Amino acid sequence: MRSQYHTLYCLCRKLLSALLLTLIFSSCYTARVATRAQPGSEVAHQNVNFFFWGLVQSPKRVTTPVCDSLNVNGLAEVTVKNNFGYSVITVITLGIWSPTRLEWKCGKPCQKVGTL
């Protein structure tokens, strides 16, 4: 009887150790996409949430009002970031909720050519 409890105890310890190591070694990651446009200096950001393993995204569309107001032709750089806390939330909820941070830089507007 004692050996069964000892075996169960060792198994639970191994599983807990594996879970702890997984949480410790899961770190942040960053994915960056850059275009040939010259990036501006200001970074805008928005948090995006994915639900049910990516089937649902909130918000459905990310808008860039600052870039649109500058009348530039698109974004110069987009970065997708995930940190340790976001990874823990994703693991605990088994992927049902996965928060992510989007950052972007607008392209610099073209200089006007001609006389003033």
Is 67 within a domain? yes
Q: Which two tokens stand for residue 108?
A: 């610099």
Is 112 within a domain? no
Let me know: does 98 contact 49? Beta carbons within 8 Å. yes
Let me know: does 54 contact 98? Beta carbons within 8 Å. yes
Residue with tokens 């200001």: 42
Average pLDDT over residues 39-54: 84
Domain count, the chain: 1
For the cut 60, the answer to whether the pLDDT of residue 1 exceeds it is no
In percent, how much of the chain has pLDDT > 70? 83
Q: Which residues of 28-61 are buried (b: 16+ CB within 10 A; e: fewer)?
A: eeeeeeeeebebbeeebeeebebeeeeeeeeeee
Is 98 within a domain? yes
Q: Which two tokens stand for residue 23?
A: 């949480």
Is 111 within a domain? no
pLDDT digits (tens, 9 = 90+) for 59-115: 887 777 767 676 666 778 888 888 888 888 888 888 899 898 888 888 777 666 766
Is 61 within a domain? yes
Is 63 within a domain? yes
Provide the whole-model pTM. 0.62
Q: Which of 34, 30, 43 is CA-nearest to residue 78? A: 34
Rounded Cα distance between 80 and 98, Å, is: 13
Domain boundaries, position 61: 27-106
Task: State residue 26's pLDDT score.
Answer: 60
pLDDT digits (tens, 9 = 90+) for 11-21: 888 888 877 77
Is 19 within a domain? no
Is 5 within a domain? no
